[in-house]
């Protein structure tokens, strides 16, 4: 580099950093506090900023600051680090608002169906909107259920006396959508929509079979939707949700567990709308796999010629590997087989798929869903194994095909081996061969410590396509080995 570059970099770091300090005492064992006596008496410039740990077992982890106590100099985080923040740990307070804070604020503004009437949350605002513009406009009606005369029957305030033809017109029946249930807890049938099969003008009684969760109840809030509006919204069988915003988002994204939502229809499916409208991706075909293979799935219903889809992207939209986009290397007509540049992580099954034009937005989608480069955090894994003298016992063995791992934290503690030794061995790929690269001895002198990755191997984390850690006793045993580890994984 050069001197000018070094000065620029220093200025950039200084601009982002609001404060640099160190923990003067151990934080809580819940791993979500930092104690710094140097901050005692300072004003709260810390809450809603990002805290970056610079040393120790949680080095380079960051969390959002939830609150600050100027009397004790204690910073409380939104959630815990992977390790307790002990005295002497270096940290920085960054002038960056955290995603955790933003999400919390968004949740507060959206609200839920427990919001009392008249609040300014988005949920309450939507309720008022439907109540205000739906009545008498020919597209939607809104109201509360005031009686339940029979199974799957209900009446709505102010709607008695309307002509039956208003809601029942041959095959084009209106739909009843439960906007929110009377209990205010998001229980069924909130979020469900069923067609109206009968309407009695004199009593104003609607019949809509199929509602779950005990059916409609008094004070449930109902939207009656014109057939065309119902077709556009495609809200059938949406799971119950805490907020109406979630209902619309689930519909847009297409997470309804209903594969019929992805098939070609006169009205574009919710997935098609998402891909075309939000991401600018061109969807050139839809279909259903008729043979299942992780590398060469086929759809015998295709009529296109050889290599018609070469260079495009194939993506399942249902099943265990939904939303895994893969470039198409070759398309063979007749057998209608897709040969992929890289296989799916498993056979897709006989599920629906879409074919996307190969362009920049497709690559952006691949990055978004984690096809490459994004590590998806896995649940912490407890360690409870025995070290024997007969063979090595796995503490962890991460070896799935086409997967890269990063082990962010590992803690191990062993029972007292007495005069013997329990050896912890680390294996990684070296020239594509699994090789022992380091080892650590647990003895009577250090068995009482929960040893970290830094203690055992001098590393803050492990990374690679294949990672294995084992334990073995030199003699005697078995000796109980306990601990915990956390890791992330991504497709490669």
pLDDT in tens, 378-398: 888 999 999 999 999 999 999
Q: Which of 327, 251, 320 is nearest to 292 (CA)?
A: 320
Q: What distances in angstroms separate CA 346 from CA 140, 323, 354, one per listed residue?
A: 44, 13, 17
The pLDDT of residue 192 is 77
Identify the H or E element spanning 105: helix 99-110
324-334 b/e with 16+ CB inside 10 Å = b? bbbbbeebeee
Report which of 387, 428, 440, 444 is spatially closest to residue 395, judged by C-alpha positions: 387
Can you give the pTM of this predicted structure? Answer: 0.32
473 backbone dihedrals φ, ψ, rounded to 5°: -90, 145
- Neighbour tally for 366: CB within 10 Å: 22
Calpha distance 129→151 (Å, rounded): 30
Distance (Å, whole) CA 49 – CA 95:
6
Query: What tokens were used for 347?
Result: 């056979």
Q: What's the confidence (pLDDT) of residue 358?
A: 57
Tokens of 324: 């895994």
Return the structure tokens found at 4: 């000018």
Per residue in 103-123, pLDDT (tens digit) is 555 555 555 555 544 455 555
Ramachandran region, residue 120 (left: φ > 0; alpha: ψ -120 to 50; beta: rest)? alpha
Q: Which two tokens stand for residue 62?
A: 């960051």
Beta strand 153-156 with 140-147 is antiparallel
CA 341/CA 282 separation, integer angstroms: 20
Angle at 207 between CA 204 and CA 212, to 5 degrees: 135
Looking at the DSSP bridge assignments, the partners of residue 340 are: 328
Q: Over its length of 492 residues, how does the chain's per-residue pLDDT go in tens digits?
A: 455 555 565 666 667 888 999 999 999 999 999 999 999 999 988 988 889 898 989 988 888 898 999 999 999 998 889 999 999 999 999 888 765 445 555 555 555 555 544 455 555 555 555 554 444 445 667 778 889 888 788 888 777 666 656 676 544 578 888 777 776 656 677 777 788 888 888 888 888 887 755 678 888 888 787 776 666 554 333 333 333 333 333 333 333 333 333 333 333 344 444 444 444 456 677 788 999 998 899 998 887 788 878 878 888 877 777 777 788 888 888 888 999 888 888 898 898 887 876 544 444 444 444 444 556 778 889 999 999 999 999 999 998 877 888 998 999 999 999 999 999 999 999 998 999 999 999 999 999 999 999 999 988 889 999 999 999 999 998 999 999 999 988 766
Residue listed under structure tokens 């290397």: 329
Q: Please state whether the peptide bond connecting residue 132 to the residue before it is cis, i.e. omega within 30 degrees of 0.
A: no
The angle at the Cα of 279, spanning 278 to 284, to the nearest 5 degrees, equals 110
């Amino acid at each position: 580099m050069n001197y000018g570059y070094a000065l620029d970099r220093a200025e950039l770091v200084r601009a982002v950093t609001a404060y640099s300090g160190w923990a003067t005492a151990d934080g809580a064992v819940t791993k979500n506090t930092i104690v710094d006596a140097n901050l005692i008496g300072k004003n709260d410039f810390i809450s809603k900023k990002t805290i970056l740990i610079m040393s120790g077992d949680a080095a380079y982890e960051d969390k959002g600051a939830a609150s600050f106590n100027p009397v004790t100099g204690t910073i409380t985080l939104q959630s815990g680090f992977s390790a307790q923040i002990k005295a002497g740990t270096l940290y920085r307070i960054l002038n960056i608002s955290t995603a955790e804070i933003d999400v919390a604020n968004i949740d507060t503004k959206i609200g839920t169906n427990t919001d009392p009437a008249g609040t300014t949350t988005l949920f309450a605002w939507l309720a008022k909107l439907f109540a205000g513009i739906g009545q008498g406009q020919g597209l939607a009606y809104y109201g509360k259920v005031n009686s339940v005369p029979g199974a799957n029957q209900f009446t709505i305030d102010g709607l008695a006396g309307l002509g039956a033809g208003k809601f029942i017109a041959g095959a084009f029946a209106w739909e009843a959508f439960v906007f929110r249930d009377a209990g205010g807890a998001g229980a069924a049938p909130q979020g469900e929509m069923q067609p109206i099969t009968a309407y009695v003008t004199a009593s104003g009684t609607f019949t809509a079979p199929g509602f779950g969760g005990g059916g409609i109840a008094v004070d449930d809030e109902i939207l009656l939707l014109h057939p065309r509006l119902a077709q556009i919204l495609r809200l059938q069988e949406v799971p119950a949700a805490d907020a109406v915003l979630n209902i619309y988002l689930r519909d847009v994204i297409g997470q309804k567990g209903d594969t019929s939502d992805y098939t070609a229809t006169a009205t574009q499916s919710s997935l098609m709308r998402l891909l075309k409208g939000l991401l600018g991706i061109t969807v050139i075909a839809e279909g259903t796999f008729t043979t299942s293979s992780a590398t060469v799935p086929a759809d015998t219903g295709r009529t296109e010629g050889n290599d018609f889809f070469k260079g495009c992207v194939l993506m399942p939209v249902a099943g265990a590997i939904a939303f895994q986009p893969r470039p198409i290397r070759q398309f063979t007509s007749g057998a209608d087989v897709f040969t992929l540049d890289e296989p799916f992580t498993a056979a897709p099954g006989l599920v629906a798929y879409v074919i996307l034009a190969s362009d920049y937005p497709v690559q952006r989608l691949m990055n978004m869903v984690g096809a490459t480069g994004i590590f998806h955090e896995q649940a912490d894994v407890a360690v409870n194994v025995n070290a024997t003298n007969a063979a090595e016992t796995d503490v962890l063995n991460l070896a799935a095909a086409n997967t890269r791992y990063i082990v962010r934290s590992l803690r191990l503690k062993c029972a007292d081996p007495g005069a013997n030794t329990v050896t912890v061995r680390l294996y990684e790929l070296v020239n594509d061969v699994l090789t022992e690269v380091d080892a650590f001895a647990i003895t009577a002198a250090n068995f009482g410590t929960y040893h970290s990755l830094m203690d055992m191997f001098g590393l803050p984390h492990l990374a690679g396509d294949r990672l294995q850690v084992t334990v073995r006793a030199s003699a005697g045993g078995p000796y109980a080995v306990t601990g915990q580890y956390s890791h992330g994984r991504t497709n490669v």
